[in-house]
């Protein structure tokens, strides 16, 4: 794999995480209990869709075959998506959604901080912009996690369970491959070992404040990076792509 | 997004709890007549306050319930650009709900109480949101027709005599005109598209036309509260005047799109310059208002479900806040 191919693959992975995360958040729209959370959720989802659009557009330019943002989002099949398994997990309850956002964004923020310093100027610009958004999202998720963890017995039990269920999908964040190595060596991309350490320290700090135990060593599920997803992603993709698939070539 | 004729038949004002003297009422009316803005701390007749609470809270509830039919197509929006625009629009509606609840709170009613009234079925929201969004074209039709009708209703509300409501409406109207344009643009794209897309656009206009006309509320002859609301300058134009304005603006837009308005009686009256339209099926309006529209139960069940699902979260937030307060003490 050469550097150009690695960069393209990497950009698509980041874009897929943004799109699938955004799509899951969109599923919650109009269903939040509180109006303030409705605004926050829609706003954050909009940030993710915006990030996905910038990244897919850039991927199209890197590839040079004329593919648009919509070609990547709407005309690839499930196994061509490279998002983390965590992103595609169904929403569950409010606490599940908060835990997912917290675990992922704790990683994503560090990833973006590193990418903002990348030698690839365009990726660095996109990352710098996204970093500001995600910093704010993460603060929101962490605050809620603390409230829920240190709230009532019920809320504590609920988010402890969410954490136990979702922790198994976090190993994938740091399971680097050739693409990550090339990105690090050729484009000054993230050092995943350093990121893992920082991530665990940051996550531990918030979990302690939330009176939640950090889950111990456990089996880590992987596959998203290889396109081997959980059964959940296929339905998300089918729903998202419905109109483009039903009316091929139509302009909307 | 919307206000519907809020002056429904059969609602009677309760007697005011406190005595209101003829002098107070006359002085209040004089301020209204002088186009002064009434502010939250000013004296106002109880019936004026109650009318505003009813109208503003119904408007707020409509924004919140109105997120559902549009939210229905967010996951299926046909391009990322459309998805982002629709998401921004739905988010604006949540924001409108928030400012409107705040405006109503200045009149001494809490948001919790207003939400409780909505969930209990005591407060209404615009009936238009009890119709389903069956195709993507319905998202275009809602923006074009429903937001278009809402703007007709809302522009005059920017001059409403109650200051906090008027100011909230100024902000809301700016965003609504963007919403209306995005709806029209969706319709334009569809009508320039394939035969299937054109048919989708026509079907949406056919289904949304009459409910959109009903958004202005009952005909003037059946609208009981209108006269008082007009005297108080809460309302500036009658339901029928606004409806006529909407028809006059919208029919040429439908022609531009190459779509047929589903009204065989529709014709331009050259002398007056107004379009004459056919009879509105008021039975349908009252049926939907009574809870028998296609989606009334679904909309309320979703809101009630969201509220119930939030119970443990609200309790947790309160418990956490109490613990923090105890630590600080």
Percent pLDDT > 90 in chain B is: 88
Q: How many C-beta atoms surround the C-beta of residue B240 within 10 A? A: 17
Q: Which candidate in B1, B63, B77, B83 is best for mutational testing of the A interface (most A CBs within 10 A)?
A: B83
The CA-CA-CA angle for residues B7, B11, B14, to 5°, reads 120
pLDDT band at B226 (very low <50, low <70, confident <90, very high): confident
Q: Which residues of B touch A74 (CB under 8 A)?
A: 78-79
Q: Average pLDDT of B189-215?
A: 98
CB distance B137 to B200 below 8 Å: yes
pLDDT of residue B17: 57
CB distance B84 to A32 below 8 Å: no
List of long-range contacts for B173-180, beta carbons under 8 Å, 24+ apart:
B175/B92, B175/B95, B175/B96, B176/B1, B176/B147, B176/B150, B176/B151, B177/B151, B178/B89, B179/B1, B179/B89, B179/B92, B179/B143, B179/B147, B180/B143, B180/B144, B180/B147, B180/B148, B180/B151
Cα–Cα distance for residue pair A209/A103, rounded to 1 Å: 15
CB distance B278 to B263 below 8 Å: yes
Cα-only R_g, chain A:
18
Closest C-alpha to B233, from B160, B291, B177: B160
Write the DSSP symbol of residue A236.
H
- Contact of A155 with chain B, judged by CB distance below 8 Å, is answered with yes
CB distance A26 to A43 below 8 Å: no
Q: Average pLDDT of B186-194?
A: 98
Chain A residue with minimal CA distance to B97? Answer: A35
Q: Which residues of B touch A152 (CB under 8 A)?
A: 312, 315-316, 319
pLDDT of residue B115: 96
Q: What residues are paired with B275 via a beta bridge?
A: B268
Residue with the two structure tokens 């050092």: A191
The CA-CA-CA angle for residues B200, B206, B212, to 5°, reads 120
Give the tens place of pLDDT for each residue, B64-85. 999 999 999 999 999 999 999 9
Cα–Cα distance for residue pair A158/A163, rounded to 1 Å: 9
Q: Is the pLDDT of residue B119 over 60?
A: yes
Give the tens place of pLDDT for each residue, A86-140. 999 999 999 999 999 999 999 999 999 999 999 999 999 999 999 999 999 999 9
Cα–Cα distance for residue pair B73/A5, rounded to 1 Å: 35
The CA-CA-CA angle for residues A217, A219, A222, to 5°, reads 130
Q: What is the ipTM of this complex?
A: 0.97
Percent pLDDT > 70 in chain B is: 94
The A residues from 103 to 132 touching B (CB cutoff 8 Å) are none
Show the domains of chain A with their CATH numbers.
Answer: 3-246 (1.20.1260.10)
pLDDT of residue B13: 46
- Contact of A36 with chain B, judged by CB distance below 8 Å, is answered with yes
CB distance A118 to A127 below 8 Å: yes
Residue with the two structure tokens 């150009």: A4
pLDDT of residue B11: 44
Give the tens place of pLDDT for each residue, B124-144. 999 999 999 999 999 999 999
Closest C-alpha to A96, from B43, B98, B313, B48: B313
Half-sphere exposure (CA, 13 Å, Cβ side) for B210? 16
- Contact of A31 with chain B, judged by CB distance below 8 Å, is answered with yes
Distance from CA of A127 to the nearest CA of B (A): 19
pLDDT band at B227 (very low <50, low <70, confident <90, very high): confident
What kind and span of H or E run contains B249?
helix B239-257
Q: Is A35–B64 a contact, with Cβ atoms under 8 angstroms apart?
A: yes
Closest C-alpha to A180, from A58, A13, A10: A10
Q: Is B306–A158 a contact, with Cβ atoms under 8 angstroms apart?
A: no
Q: Which residues of B touch A50 (CB under 8 A)?
A: 84
pLDDT of residue B3: 52
Q: Is A46–B186 a contact, with Cβ atoms under 8 angstroms apart?
A: no
Q: Which regions of chain A are under pLDDT 70?
A: none
């Amino acid at each position: 794999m050469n550097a150009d191919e690695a960069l393209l693959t990497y950009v698509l992975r980041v874009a897929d995480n943004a799109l699938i995360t955004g799509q899951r958040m969109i599923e919650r729209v109009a269903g939040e209990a509180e109006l303030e959370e409705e605004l926050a959720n829609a706003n954050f989802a909009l940030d993710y869709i915006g990030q996905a659009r910038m990244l897919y557009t850039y991927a199209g330019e890197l590839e040079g075959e004329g593919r648009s943002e919509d070609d990547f989002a709407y005309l690839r099949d499930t196994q061509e998506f490279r998002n983390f398994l965590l992103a595609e997990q169904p929403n569950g309850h409010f606490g599940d959604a908060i835990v997912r956002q917290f675990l992922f964004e704790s990683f994503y923020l560090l990833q973006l901080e590193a990418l903002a310093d990348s030698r690839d100027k365009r990726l660095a610009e996109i990352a710098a912009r996204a970093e500001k958004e995600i910093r704010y999202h993460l603060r929101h998720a962490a605050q809620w996690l603390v409230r829920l963890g240190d709230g009532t017995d019920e809320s504590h039990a609920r988010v402890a369970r969410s954490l136990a269920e979702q922790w198994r999908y976090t190993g994938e964040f740091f399971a680097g491959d050739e693409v990550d190595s090339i990105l690090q060596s050729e484009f000054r991309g993230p050092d995943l070992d350093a990121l893992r350490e920082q991530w665990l320290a940051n996550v531990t700090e918030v979990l302690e404040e939330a009176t939640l135990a950090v889950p111990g060593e456990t089996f880590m599920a992987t596959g998203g990076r290889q396109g081997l997803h959980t059964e959940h992603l296929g339905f998300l993709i089918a729903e998202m792509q419905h109109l483009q698939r039903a009316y091929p070539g139509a302009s909307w | 997004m919307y206000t519907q004729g809020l002056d429904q038949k059969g609602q009677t004002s309760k007697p005011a709890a406190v005595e209101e003297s003829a002098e107070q009422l006359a002085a209040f009316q004089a301020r209204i007549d002088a186009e002064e803005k009434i502010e939250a701390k000013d004296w106002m007749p109880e019936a004026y306050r109650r009318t505003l609470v009813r109208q503003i809270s119904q408007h707020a509830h409509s924004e919140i319930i109105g997120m559902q039919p549009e939210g229905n197509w967010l996951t299926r929006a046909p391009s990322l650009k459309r998805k982002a625009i629709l998401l921004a629009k739905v988010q604006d509606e949540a924001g409108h709900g928030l400012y409107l609840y705040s405006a109503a709170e200045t009149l001494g009613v809490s948001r919790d109480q207003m939400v409780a009234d909505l969930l209990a079925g005591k407060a209404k929201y615009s009936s238009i949101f009890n119709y389903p969004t069956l195709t993507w074209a319905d998202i275009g039709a809602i923006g074009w027709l429903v937001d278009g009708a809402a703007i007709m209703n809302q522009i005059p509300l920017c001059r409403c005599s109650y200051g906090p409501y008027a100011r909230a409406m100024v902000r809301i109207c700016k965003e609504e005109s963007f919403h209306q344009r995005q709806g029209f643009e969706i319709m334009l794209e569809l009508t320039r598209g394939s035969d299937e897309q054109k048919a989708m656009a026509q079907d949406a206009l056919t289904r949304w036309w009459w409910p959109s006309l009903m958004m202005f509320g009952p005909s003037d002859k059946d609208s009981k509260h209108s006269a008082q609301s007009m005297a108080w300058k809460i309302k500036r134009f009658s339901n029928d005047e606004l409806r006529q304005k909407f028809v006059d603006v919208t029919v040429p837009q439908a022609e531009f799109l190459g779509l047929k308005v589903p009204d065989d009686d529709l014709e331009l009256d050259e002398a007056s310059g107004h379009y004459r339209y056919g009879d509105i099926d008021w039975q349908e309006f009252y049926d939907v208002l009574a809870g028998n529209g296609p989606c009334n139960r679904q909309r309320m069940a979703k809101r009630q479900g969201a509220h119930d699902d939030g119970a443990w979260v609200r309790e947790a937030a309160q418990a956490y806040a109490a613990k923090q307060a105890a630590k600080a003490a």
